[in-house]
């Protein structure tokens, strides 16, 4: 995607963690548990991506890098929580995540050999003890929970933070055959898991006429012909998993009419961004035979802050970019109904160059108008030339970039974000911001409601519940039956996609009236079914409360939550155990049907008292469990840390020692030191902590052995670096985001 005059360094963080190779037992590389449903696979019709029923879908999401780099895991897990970040993405309408990986990592996963991932398990207790493959598959379970889909992108041959800079899909000991083998392993491993919907064959193949190696696009089977490589890799993948979409990017240059690929003339080629030149599709389209309906072309496009292309050096607007750049390089594929497009990378910083803002707004509008699929670059704040949707704390969102640039391109219907799962709404069960693709109609012409549900009947009631069932409705309007609404009198008590529902929370020996309405994908709702009246059971005479919960314990707390577990209660009264109520002091904070619950919304560094009560179906409630006192993780306040910084330098380099002291009254259970280089210095390596640099900002996160810093205790860490003649010492330091004294 880049001019040879400029190299875009996406990941400024250098992987300095001393990674220890571990050969895992077979259990660690066993096939993952497969998704129960396989109804979310996608394919292609003309220039659109559709589901199995032919309903148009739009993949709208982000990139989250790190698995491609030396850390071999999502960046940011040194401070951000993987569950919270994933849920935030879903709640904000991101229905797809493009996950960059490397061929080297796929081969390591295939061999069952793992390097230690750079994860702060204090911030991510759910990842404790997991290797990089297990972390990735845990991420897949989160995506299932929140209705997000994933596709993999081989970003580079080697696991290298700057691996994408290399032109080709092979490098060093990684051969083209290795790339095929890695993809075949991935296709087989996740063959039955429709959380992963596709494969981006290779990120940004590039090179110009002057490069020693450059990716070309023609009808040959030459080693450097990206078209042949991508076609071959796609066929190998689809032979194993014919349900995956395959995303094929462009190259950098394409010869002008009458020019051979052997030419080295400076004006003989059309040039554009790495991965952005798909002109060759007109003359040499990808041919996947019987699996042609799985092909999506995926160009990349950037603004002048990444590289000041010639079209940015004159007045431009959306119309001129469409005519001069996007149209001839890739938009013709969509406009001529050849295949769908997914803009695999676009994005950048706002408010620094009016031309940058103008370009991004123009591409945003094109994506929205054409209903193009896209994955925004990038979630990570540590992308040096684009910045991220998240800010440096890996928790706070750049609201301006999100709301003005990404949000207008997201897949939306009826004021809600649309996920690609047919059962789980985007954001998860109970989401208020998202819906599932099943809830979207096939068009706006459907104004016909489904038929009224028939045959509503009640099963055997208990003292607190009534099971209902009915005959399925039909829909002649074309958008399909999306589900049913269940009413108690005039009160909506639940929704379901099946033809049965159990109403709970009722009072014993009480008469109720129930009805059901059907709804379709266009939002039309039927009239109510014939009501059914039923009386709940009088009860069994159960006046015996369940046994008191015992063994209440707390897991690893965060700054805002405490996970609780306890031994299950028993019920001898006959009505059966119904669940548990969890109390913080005398306040009911939640209920659960399992002997575990995570209390959230707490204050950092605060002690709380928790109890649990068991309840049965007859409404009897046990006495409270023995109280448990547990504290949230501390949030270091200003003045509760001090830093001493000393450096020894020479003409172009230096070493520095940093002594961090906890001057507070509570222990630090996990810490991250941060400061800015004031004179353009560059970190080269560090010790006694995991060191990283993004722009001027440097962070050092504790090692396992020095994770806990008691009150009054100190830890000494250090690093080496380079400078260009000036080596001014940093003046401001923070620990876990709070300022330290010097």
pLDDT above 70: residue 592: yes
Q: State residue 292 phi and psi, 5-degree precision.
A: -60, -25
Please give the pLDDT value at position 634: 67
Task: Return the structure tokens found at 554.
Answer: 């707390």
- Which tens digits make up the pLDDT trace of 720-734? 889 988 889 998 999
pLDDT, mean of residues 120-127: 94
Q: Does 196 or 593 have the greater pLDDT score?
A: 196
Of 291, 310, 308, give the one whose Cα is nearest residue 242.
291
How far is the C-alpha of 407 from the C-alpha of 347, rounded, in Å? 12
pLDDT, mean of residues 445-450: 78
Mean pLDDT, rounded, of the chain: 89
Cβ neighbours of residue 613 closer than 8 Å, sequence gap 6 or more: 548, 549, 580, 581, 583, 621, 622, 623, 624, 625
Please give the pLDDT value at position 5: 29
Q: Which of 184, 204, 231, 249 is catalytic?
A: 204
Please give the pLDDT value at position 483: 80
Fill in the DSSP letter of residue 333: H
Q: Which of 184, 231, 345, 485 is catalytic?
A: 345
- Which tens digits make up the pLDDT trace of 629-639? 888 876 655 55
pLDDT above 90: residue 589: no
Task: Return the structure tokens found at 177.
Answer: 């055959």
The answer to whether the CB of 437 falls within 8 A of the CB of 421 is yes
Torsion sign, CA atoms 330, 331, 337, 341: positive
How far is the C-alpha of 685 from the C-alpha of 712, rounded, in Å? 28
Please give the pLDDT value at position 33: 41
pLDDT, mean of residues 176-190: 98
The answer to whether the CB of 340 falls within 8 A of the CB of 42 is no
Please give the pLDDT value at position 442: 53
- Which tens digits make up the pLDDT trace of 670-679? 899 999 999 8
pLDDT above 90: residue 494: no
Q: Does 307 or 445 have the greater pLDDT score?
A: 307
Of 655, 684, 695, 688, give the one whose Cα is nearest residue 673.
688
Please give the pLDDT value at position 523: 67
Cβ neighbours of residue 623 closer than 8 Å, sequence gap 6 or more: 545, 548, 613
Cβ neighbours of residue 651 closer than 8 Å, sequence gap 6 or more: none
pLDDT, mean of residues 98-127: 95
- With 0-12 / 13-18 / 19 or more C-beta atoms within 10 angstroms meaning exposed / middle / buried, residue 122 is buried
pLDDT, mean of residues 231-259: 97
Given pLDDT bands bounded at 50, 70 and 90, which one contains residue 521?
low
Q: Is the peptide bond before 378 cis (omega within 30 degrees of 0)?
A: yes
- Which tens digits make up the pLDDT trace of 370-418? 999 999 999 999 998 899 999 989 999 999 999 999 999 999 998 899 9
pLDDT, mean of residues 598-607: 81
pLDDT, mean of residues 203-212: 93
Task: Using the CB atoms, write b or e for 275-291: b if 16+ within 10 Å.
Answer: bbbbbbbeebbbebeeb
Task: Return the structure tokens found at 550.
Answer: 């015992």
Please give the pLDDT value at position 560: 81
Given pLDDT bands bounded at 50, 70 and 90, which one contains residue 667?
confident
pLDDT above 60: residue 543: yes
- Which tens digits make up the pLDDT trace of 265-309? 989 999 999 999 999 999 999 999 999 999 999 999 999 999 999
Given pLDDT bands bounded at 50, 70 and 90, which one contains residue 11?
very low
What percent of the chain stands above pLDDT 70? 92
pLDDT above 70: residue 701: yes
Please give the pLDDT value at position 20: 32
pLDDT above 50: residue 2: no
CA distance to 53, 299, 443, 447, per residue, from 56 (Å): 9, 21, 9, 19
Q: State residue 326 phi and psi, 5-degree precision.
A: -65, -45
Of 551, 553, 583, 585, give the one whose Cα is nearest residue 569.
551
pLDDT, mean of residues 232-254: 97
- Which tens digits make up the pLDDT trace of 603-638? 777 788 999 999 988 778 999 999 998 888 766 555
Least confident of 348-362, 368-382, 542-556, 623-637: 623-637
Give me the count of residues in the chain: 742
Fill in the DSSP letter of residue 499: S
Of 345, 317, 480, 336, give the one whose Cα is nearest residue 8.
345
Please give the pLDDT value at position 376: 98
pLDDT, mean of residues 522-539: 87
Of 593, 595, 538, give the one whose Cα is nearest residue 563.
595
**Active-site residue, 204 included:** yes
The answer to whether the CB of 633 falls within 8 A of the CB of 664 is no
Residue 271 is inside which H or E element, if any? strand 269-271
pLDDT above 70: residue 572: yes
**Active-site residue, 345 included:** yes
Of 588, 575, 515, 584, give the one whose Cα is nearest residue 552.
584
Name the pairing type of β-strands 434-435 and 416-418: parallel
The answer to whether the CB of 499 falls within 8 A of the CB of 427 is no
Cβ neighbours of residue 355 closer than 8 Å, sequence gap 6 or more: 303, 304, 312, 316
Task: Return the structure tokens found at 596.
Answer: 């575990």
User: Which residues partner with 248 through β-bridges?
Assistant: 297
Helix (H) and strand (E) counts for the chain? 10, 43
Query: Structure pTM?
Result: 0.61
Task: Return the structure tokens found at 699.
Answer: 């962070």
User: Which residues partner with 246 through β-bridges?
Assistant: 199, 295
Given pLDDT bands bounded at 50, 70 and 90, which one contains residue 446?
low
Of 645, 637, 631, give the one whose Cα is nearest residue 664.
637
Task: Return the structure tokens found at 184.
Answer: 């075949």
Please give the pLDDT value at position 445: 55
């Amino acid at each position: 995607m880049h001019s040879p005059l400029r190299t875009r360094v996406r990941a400024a963080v250098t992987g300095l963690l001393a990674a220890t190779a571990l050969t895992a037992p077979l259990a660690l590389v066993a096939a993952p548990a497969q998704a129960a449903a396989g109804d979310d696979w996608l394919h292609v019709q003309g220039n659109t991506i559709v589901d199995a029923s032919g309903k148009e879908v739009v993949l709208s999401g982000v990139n989250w890098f790190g698995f491609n780099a030396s850390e071999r895991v999502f960046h940011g897990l040194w401070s951000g929580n993987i569950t919270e970040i994933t849920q935030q993405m879903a709640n904000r309408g991101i229905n797809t995540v493009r996950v960059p990986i490397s061929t080297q990592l796929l081969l390591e996963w295939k061999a069952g050999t793992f390097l230690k991932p750079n994860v702060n398990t204090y911030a991510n207790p759910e990842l404790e003890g997991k290797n990089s493959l297990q972390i990735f598959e845990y991420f897949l379970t989160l995506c299932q929970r929140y209705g997000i889909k994933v596709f993999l992108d081989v970003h580079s041959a080697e696991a290298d933070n700057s691996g994408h800079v290399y032109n080709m899909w092979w490098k060093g000991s990684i051969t083209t055959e290795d790339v095929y083998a890695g993809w075949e392993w991935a296709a087989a491993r996740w063959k039955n898991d429709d959380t992963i919907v596709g494969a981006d064959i290779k990120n940004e193949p590039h090179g110009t006429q002057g490069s020693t190696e450059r990716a070309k696009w023609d009808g040959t089977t030459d080693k450097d012909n990206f078209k042949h490589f991508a076609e071959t890799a796609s066929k190998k993948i689809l032979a194993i998993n014919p349900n995956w979409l395959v995303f094929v990017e462009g190259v950098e240059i394409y010869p002008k009419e009458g020019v051979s690929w052997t030419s080295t003339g400076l004006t003989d080629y059309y040039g554009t961004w790495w991965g952005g030149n798909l002109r060759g599709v007109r003359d040499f389209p990808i041919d996947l035979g019987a699996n042609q309906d799985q092909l999506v072309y995926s160009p990349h496009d950037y603004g002048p802050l990444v590289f000041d292309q010639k079209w940015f050096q004159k007045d431009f607007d959306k119309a001129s970019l469409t005519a001069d750049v996007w149209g001839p390089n890739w938009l013709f594929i969509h406009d001529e109904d050849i295949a769908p497009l997914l803009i695999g990378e676009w994005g950048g910083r706002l408010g620094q160059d009016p031309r940058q803002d103008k370009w991004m707004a123009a591409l945003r509008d094109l994506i929205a108008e054409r209903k193009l699929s896209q994955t925004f670059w990038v979630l990570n704040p540590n992308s040096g030339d684009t910045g991220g949707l998240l800010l440096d704390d890996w928790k706070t969102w750049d609201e301006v970039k999100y709301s003005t640039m990404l949000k207008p391109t997201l897949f939306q219907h009826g004021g809600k974000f649309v996920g690609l799962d047919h059962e789980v709404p985007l954001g998860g069960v109970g989401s208020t911001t998202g819906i599932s693709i099943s809830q979207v109609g096939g068009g706006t012409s459907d104004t016909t409601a489904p038929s009224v549900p028939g045959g509503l009947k009640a099963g055997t009631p208990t003292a607190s519940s009534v099971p209902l069932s009915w005959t399925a409705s039909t829909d002649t309007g074309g958008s399909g039956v999306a589900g049913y609404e269940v009413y108690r009198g005039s009160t909506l008590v639940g929704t379901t996609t099946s033809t049965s529902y159990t109403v709970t929370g009722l009072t014993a020996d009480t008469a109720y009236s129930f009805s059901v309405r059907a709804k379709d994908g266009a939002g039309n709702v039927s009239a109510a079914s014939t009501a059914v009246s039923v009386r709940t059971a009088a009860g069994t005479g159960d006046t015996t409360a369940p046994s008191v919960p015992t063994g209440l314990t707390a897991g690893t707390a965060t700054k805002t939550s405490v996970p609780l577990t306890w031994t299950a209660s028993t019920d001898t009264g006959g009505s059966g155990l119904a669940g548990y109520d969890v109390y913080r002091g005398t306040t009911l904070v939640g209920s659960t049907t399992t002997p575990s619950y995570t209390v959230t919304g707490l204050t950092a560094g605060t002690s709380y008292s928790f109890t649990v009560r068991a309840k049965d179906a007859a409404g009897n409630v046990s006495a409270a469990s023995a109280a448990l006192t547990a504290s949230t993780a501390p949030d270091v306040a200003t003045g509760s840390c001090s830093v001493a910084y000393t450096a020894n330098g020479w003409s172009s380099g230096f070493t520095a020692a940093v002594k961090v002291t906890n001057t507070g009254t509570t222990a630090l259970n996990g810490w991250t030191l941060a400061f800015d280089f004031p004179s353009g210095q560059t970190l080269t390596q560090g010790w006694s902590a995991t060191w990283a640099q993004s722009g001027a900002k440097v962070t050092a996160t504790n090692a396992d052995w020095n994770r806990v810093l008691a009150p009054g205790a100190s830890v000494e860490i250090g690093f080496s670096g380079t400078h260009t003649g000036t080596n001014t010492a940093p003046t401001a330091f923070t620990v876990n985001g709070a300022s330290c004294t010097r």
